[in-house]
Amino acid sequence: MRDLLHKVLFIAAIFAFAHLPANAQWKMPREYGGMNIAVGPSAMVYLGDLNPSQFGDFSQAGMGVQAAIMAPINNKLSIRGTFITGNMDGNDDRYDDWRPKRSFAFKTTVTEVSAMVQWEFRGQQWERAENEIYTDNYKIKRYKILSPYVFAGVGYLNNKLEREMDGIDSVYFYGDRAWELYDEEKNKVYKSGMLVVPFGIGTHVLISPSVRLFAEYTYHFLTNDYLDGYATAVYSSKPDAYQSFTIGIDFRLLKHNALRKNQVCYWGL
């Protein structure tokens, strides 16, 4: 799995740098570098067998943090590398009916790295774009401060998992797979590394030529049922997944300029 991730990231990097010089129609302003960085806190919502809602239990969201770096290919398309890490959990005892009698629980810390492509509907805007309308022969300028985007990619997720299974009511679940396969599940060790396919939507809020706020939603699709550590003693009709909601700051760095003596950041971008 790690070899596959390395190959994906290597190919994405080659693709990005191969296309950047070829695009003569669009250039970043000279005083700014060719990349931007986005960071912010995330709310992480588990989707799986220990959650009765297919949309997730938002009241039990875990906390995380996300960082991303983007390299524009042209005015609308960017290559994006994203890192996110945070906590999630699930517990049958939170719900009614039969779940407290099963009493399965887990908690995990996930760490995900991914390579994505990002499409900006209004282009790579860092200033408030203007458009004009005419009313009674008067020209009025209207500012567009929102800049929506979509993104998708592939990545690697490390799942640091802990489970709690000791509270099951064996009489209530006698003859059910939750008890019949209990020992097999309890002794099973699932791999911590897995493939993840993140995709989502967001928007920038333009603040200045170098700073934007952003808010985005990401659905992290997994190819297996191992996120919560229950894939044997429970019935699973679809793989596990999780959602993340992130808000934060997106900024681009100034290039080094000998005349700007107070400039301390020089990344050579």
The pLDDT of 109-118, averaged and rounded, is: 97
Q: What is the pLDDT of residue 1?
A: 47
Mean pLDDT computed over every residue of the chain: 83
Amino acid identity of residue 253, one-letter, is: L
The answer to whether 102 and 49 are in contact (CB under 8 A) is no
Q: How many CA atoms lie within 13 A of 38 on its CB side?
A: 24
Question: Does residue 264 surpass a pLDDT of 50?
Answer: no
Lowest mean pLDDT among 15-29, 57-71, 77-91, 212-226: 15-29
Domain layout of the chain by residue ranges: 2-88+109-158+194-222+244-254
Distance CA 105, CA 83 (A): 27
Q: What is the pLDDT of residue 31?
A: 66
The pLDDT of 69-84, averaged and rounded, is: 93
Q: What is the pLDDT of residue 237?
A: 78
Q: Mind listing the pLDDT tens digit for each residue in 172-221? A: 999 999 999 999 999 999 999 999 999 999 999 998 888 999 999 999 99
Decide which of 2.60.40.3080, 2.60.40.10, 3.30.420.40, 2.40.160.20 is the CATH code for 2-88+109-158+194-222+244-254: 2.40.160.20
Q: Mind listing the pLDDT tens digit for each residue in 122-143? A: 888 887 777 766 766 677 777 7
Taking Cα atoms as reference points, which of 211, 209, 207, 204 lies closest to residue 31? 209
The pLDDT of 91-111, averaged and rounded, is: 94
Taking Cα atoms as reference points, which of 117, 35, 42 lies closest to residue 84? 42
Q: What is the pLDDT of residue 127?
A: 78
Q: Mind listing the pLDDT tens digit for each residue in 148-174? A: 999 999 999 999 999 999 999 999 999
The answer to whether 229 and 145 are in contact (CB under 8 A) is no
**Position with higher pLDDT, 25 vs 175:** 175
DSSP labels, 77-145? EEEEEEEEEEEEEEEGGGSSTTHHHH--EEEEEEEEEEEEEEEETT-S--S-EEEEEEETTEEEEEEE-
3-class state of residue 63 by DSSP: strand
Give the CA diameter of the chain. 81
Where does the pLDDT of residue 256 fall: very low under 50, low under 70, confident under 90, or very high at 90 and above?
low
Q: Cα 159–164–169 angle (5° rounding)?
A: 145
The answer to whether 172 and 139 are in contact (CB under 8 A) is no
Q: What is the pLDDT of residue 137?
A: 67
